[in-house]
Amino acid sequence: MAMENIYVTKSYLPPREEFFKYASEIFDNCILTNEGPFSRLLAEKIRHFLNIDNFSYVTNGTVALQLALKSMNITEGDVITTPFSYVATVSSILWERCNPVFVDIECENFTINYDKIEEKITEKTQAIIPVHVFGYACNVKKIEKIAKKYNLKVIYDAAHTFGTRYGGRSLCSYGDISTLSFHATKLFHTIEGGGCIVNDRETFKKLELMKRFGHEGDNHIMLGINAKQDEFNAAMGLANLGHIDEIVAERKRISELYDSLLEGRLHRPKKQEGLEYNYAYYPVLFESEKELLAAFERLARINVYPRRYFYPSLNRLPYIDRIEQCPVAEDISSRIACLPLYVGLKDTVVRSICNVL
């Protein structure tokens, strides 16, 4: 009998009664948006969970990046970033009328190569946006040192890091601002959603004002947009947050099963010392793109559909004006994929995947 379709991820849903309890309260109080009680409560619980001071809950992770740039007045000039990420990282830079400058990645964990950052810094450079790709940590100490030397802002795209700790603290607490995504594909989600963790209190207040049209009551203070989240999304987040420990534990168990079955057969990112991982993804690196595509074809025969995270290398996007060579990222992006990983994925399916590979 054919196996049901298995995709790279499947959104976690809490017990219905937990979400419906919140939904019932929304129907009773008829507060749907404009930072209602559940949006405020979720923001407070996330602050507590991450042990951080300033957290802004917004509509999605892309808007979070845009707000981060705008709140620190980075509205022109060059922004150094990685070519190995989801397209939203670069889209946010371009949308804010800045120029992405690509720095190639490390071979071991696929994060930005800090040794190559300085050579790309010019008088036009305004900021650095590294990505903690797959939830693995960038070299935050060396990036901070470079940023201080050249008086640059650091915005971490931390979309994959919820629940990851590094150096004894939340990985998304580093940098001037870290941005999060709570999209339905993430291990913690609010269906759609995102957030900004801001280390400077004045910048945080500015970002909070920007996300709600730039006005307080009838006092219009500055230019802003609508990045407020609604109550139903917040309700999903509140219901899911109560299960975050079991979600991470189950993803860890499945990842370790993959490890045991694939040991020595496919290359995996190297986890840094001192990293408490959240098991956000299960990336594997094939010997070649040809081998990857052949494996995809074999897996499709048993209705399994992994995903090419991240492809193509962003320095090769057709709407990028300046072509920069990033040979490591271009090579890795051509032959890396993420295998299915989610709560509810059966061990028998994992074994079938590994047998095919």
User: Domain end: 190, 206, 241, which one?
Assistant: 241
Residue 125's domain is classified under what CATH number? 3.40.640.10
Q: Please tell me what DSSP assigns to residue 137.
A: P
- Note whether 71 and 171 are same-domain residues: yes
| Nearest alpha carbon to residue 185 among 268, 281, 251 | 281
Digit-by-digit pLDDT tens for the chain (357 residues) are 457 999 999 999 999 999 999 999 999 999 999 999 999 999 999 999 999 999 999 999 999 999 999 999 998 999 999 999 999 999 999 999 999 999 999 999 999 999 999 999 999 999 999 999 999 999 999 999 999 999 999 999 999 999 999 999 999 999 999 999 999 999 999 999 999 999 999 999 999 999 999 999 899 999 999 999 999 999 999 999 999 999 999 999 999 999 999 998 999 999 899 999 999 999 999 999 999 999 999 999 999 999 999 999 999 999 998 889 999 999 999 999 999 999 999 999 999 999 999
The answer to whether residues 209 and 281 belong to one domain is no
**162-180 residues labelled b (16+ CB within 10 A) or e (exposed):** bbbbbbeebbbbbbbbbbb
In this structure, the strands spanning 169-170 and 55-58 are unpaired
Count of structural domains within the chain: 2
What does the alpha-carbon distance between residue 352 and residue 61 come to, in Å, rounded to a whole number? 34
| 8 is a domain residue | no
Q: Is the dihedral of CA 137, 143, 145, 147 positive or negative?
A: negative
203 and 73 fall within a common domain: yes
Question: In whole angstroms, what is the distance from residue 141 CA to residue 137 CA?
Answer: 11
CA distances from 21 to 17, 37, 38, 258, 328 (A): 6, 14, 12, 37, 49
pTM recorded for the entire structure? 0.97
| Residue 102, domain member (yes or no) | yes
| Tally of CB atoms within 10 A around 257 | 15
